[in-house]
Structure 1
Amino acid sequence: MHSETTTTIEAGKRGEALSGAERRERVLGILSQTQSLVGLVLVGAIFAILSDAFLTEYNLLNILRQSAVTAILAAGMTFVIIAGGIDLSVGSVVALTGVIAAGSMRDGTPVWAAVLIALAIGLAFGAVNGVAVAVLKIPAFIATLGTMTIGSSVALAYTEGLPISGLPEAFTYLGQGFVGPIPTPVVIAFVVVVLCAVLLRRTLIGRYAFAIGGNEKASFLSGVRTTRWKITMYALLGVLGGIAGVVLTARQNSGQPTAGAGIELIVIAAVVIGGTSLSGGRGSVWGSIAGAVLITVINNGLNLLNVSPYFQGMFVGGLILLAVGLDWRNRKTSD
């Protein structure tokens, strides 16, 4: 009898400990997912106080327009990082798909066909990244660094280093037009983000992204086709890179072979600031979007305050260090 009582008490204590650990993990998860939103509100309030121009309708729409391309890419990057990967090639995909779409229209291809070509190239690029990482087992950083270089070189070779201009008005509408009072890029980004948020939380690709990022070996042993799903996630990001390339090219009214240069770091920063763990297994699309908007707000506000662009990177860099530090602390605490 005494033995049974002792066993029951010990089991109860283990249950309480487990419940406490689960509660702590849940709280840490909530904090990590909301940190970008809290930061966005605080930073926005500061700039609203310091600059009368910040909260004007024109400036707010400008912030959303400037955030659109980053938001599209961040939505796709969230899947890859949650699954434990990373993709440095998104900037070159934006440039390559943009110049090929522009070149296709220059040669007489209809707008709709040029857009589909851009998406197909993005899909192929993403699939190559996925195969390199999931099948060939090349570390994601190295594999995507290689494809980044290839994509940039192909874009430069295709254009001979020169922009492709004279694009049809029906195409530039995708980057410069309005749907009612809302800029078209913002509408496109919103649709992409909503779809990605649903995919992450309501479908198999999202469920398996969390599973693979949490423990890839255990996921494989439990029957998840980890190789196929990792390729799918990189391919999804490639397609979104094509969409971003189309939107950016339309906004600039020309295909620039250097468009998107360095944007991969901004996108990764947005995802990390948004609470997605670099070690995988945790994150959200909406957090990443808040991170993307936060970075844009910082740059916009500093411009309004006439802060030199040479110093603006210091603020974003400090924010990244803070986000990574919080992620590291959360992981240590949860362990």
Structure 2
Amino acid sequence: MEAGDRVANLLGHLNPVYMPEGGLRAAPTSASSSKKPKVAVLGAAGGIGQPLALLLKGSNLVGELSLYDIVGTEGVAADLSHIDSSVKVSSATGADKLGEALYDCDLVVIPAGVPRKPGMTRDDLFNINAGIVANLCAGIAKYCPGAWVAIISNPVNSTVPIAAEVFKKAGTYDPRKLLGVTKLDVLRANTFVAEAIGKAPESVSVPVIGGHAGVTILPLLSQTTPRVEVSADKAKALTERIQDAGTEVVKAKAGKGSATLSMAYAAAKFAESCLLALQGQSVVECAYVESHLTDLPFFASQVRLGRSGVEEYLPLGSFNELETKNFGALKSELRGSIQKGVDFVHKS
């Protein structure tokens, strides 16, 4: 299926939403409801937000595309509104308009925040983006607590736990509907492995587990479909390239950008999976979610999505020697990132 066709297949109807005047509006009982979903992109004027909004505007399954940012939102909306698709585009700018952007939303995608730049540490990124994500999630809890929330803002290893704690405080937390988007790691793994074995990327599927930063990203090359045989040295090189792929893009853009286009594409594909599941289809995706598969409270793995969100956690399967070693290494790093997110909310 062509990329344009895939994007055109996005979205079905979703869940209850908060009405500002009070109470919950009941969601339609059938996915065949004629009402098309309202999808919000928070951070819509940014490097990821703009191409993501473009892809969603091209979907004939979206009813309304709600764009929100602190500046520049109207220009993005005006630009997109000239595209000849039936998707209604609305915009809201500034903190006082967040409720307007979120009201009646079914799916909220959050690419808001600053991208990683050369020389920027994870602490630098966290210190800026943590507060942004916490504030946006407080708005979601108030105006559309039944919505699915897909978080792109880095560091995802910490921002998803931040979102969870904000929702818990508000009494709206549903772990099945809070998803950290690690889809780009999967796309990179598929692409790099396909290049190495001389196959088309569309024909390769590599599970990627763990987290969404550096050593916490663990591609399970031994579980690739179709099965591939590469040397131990090649597997190590491929794993390291997948883990460092974000830095590869930052360097290639000479410090003037990060992985915005590929991330937007990955986010659109992930949204498609979520929304097809909401239509009643069984969809398997890798996502960073609250999980019981390990002793870590959050973990990225293959999950089965359905109408209620995450409905099944697929087994991790067996690891080879390299994967076992890397799995042990990632746990300490990921545990610290999770705790950092939790502590941020409770110390704020």
1 or 2 for the larger relative contact order (CA 8 Å, sep ≥6)?
A: 1
Give the TM bin, normalised by the shorter chain. Answer: under 0.3
TM-score, normalised via structure 2 length: 0.26
TM-score, normalised via structure 1 length: 0.27
Larger radius of gyration: 1
The answer to which structure has the higher helix fraction is 1
